[in-house]
Amino acid sequence: MAISLSCPPGSQLERLRQTTPLVHNITNHVAMTPSANTLLAIGASPLMAHALEEIQDIVRVADVLCINIGTLSVPWIEAMQLAAEAAHLAGKPWVLDPVGVGASLLRQQTCRVLLDHQPSVIRGNASEILALAGEASQSRGVDSGDDAEDAIVRATQTAISLAQQHGCVVAMTGLVDVVTDGKQLIRITGGHPLMGRVTAMGCALSSVVAAFIAANDEPLSATASALACYAYAGECAGYHATGPGSFVPAFLDTLYTLDGETPPLETRMEITNVA
């Protein structure tokens, strides 16, 4: 049986630009500028705020929260936990990016506490999804991943289990992106190898996912649309770029010029029901 999104990615992008969601980011030092520029290019409004003393005020005015654990310290962890709790209590969507969660016990403990506050979306690579679920993964750092086909299959099943366990959407990004809510599974093709040669591309993607889920009612469809737009922009930018230095401005320009008339991105999606 053919399954399709209730609202195509182009329409969801137009909705985002009409609403200009304010995205509160608690993210790592490296990702702040790339994430802010990417959000502006896509049509959202970025806000970077980490001070514990203002977290509740910021969560109150923001439309959505994105937490990235790439930079951790005790004050930042406290701010993350307070922000996640405040967003959950206020009924506001939020995204968890478990950067390098398998690299240290501190990252694992931090994510366990954050998961108690019910993120709307978890976005990570295969290694991070496996580690978040407590499964073994050969992680060499925050940009590494499990490339073996069997590991990707295992990580996909883990993503489905995580989505079912936490009642959220899980987005696992890589050569082929996977998005699931535990009931449906969406595979998305696209992107370009140069995306892996530029820092914070994944971090910025999590912020874009946050913008999409703030502007659209269905987290699964919104997350898939965010990933499809991002992958398409990366593919187009990679075609014109000669290296990482020229890729970044080309990528931002492509995001900026995307609109509802973009070639139908749903044709790059394979949607199935989870058995």
In the 8-state DSSP scheme, what is residue 93? -
Distance (Å, rounded) from C-alpha 138 to C-alpha 126?
10
Would you state the torsion angle of the CA atoms of residues 122, 126, 132, 134, taken in this order, to the nearest 10 degrees? 150
User: What letter does residue 101 receive in the DSSP assignment?
Assistant: G
The dihedral through the CA atoms of 43, 175, 220, 166 has a sign that is negative
Spatial separation of the C-alpha atoms in residues 102 and 22, rounded to whole Å = 30
Q: Which residues are annotated as a binding site?
A: 48, 123, 173, 200
Q: Which of 265, 225, 257, 247 is nearest to 34 (CA)?
A: 247
Report whether 70 contacts 32 (CB < 8 A).
no
Residue whose entry in the numeric block shows the structure tokens 């399954």: 3
Cα 4 from Cα 7, distance rounded (Å): 8
Give the CA radius of gyration of the chain: 17
Annotated binding site for substrate: 48, 200
For the chain, report the end-to-end CA distance as a whole number of angstroms: 13
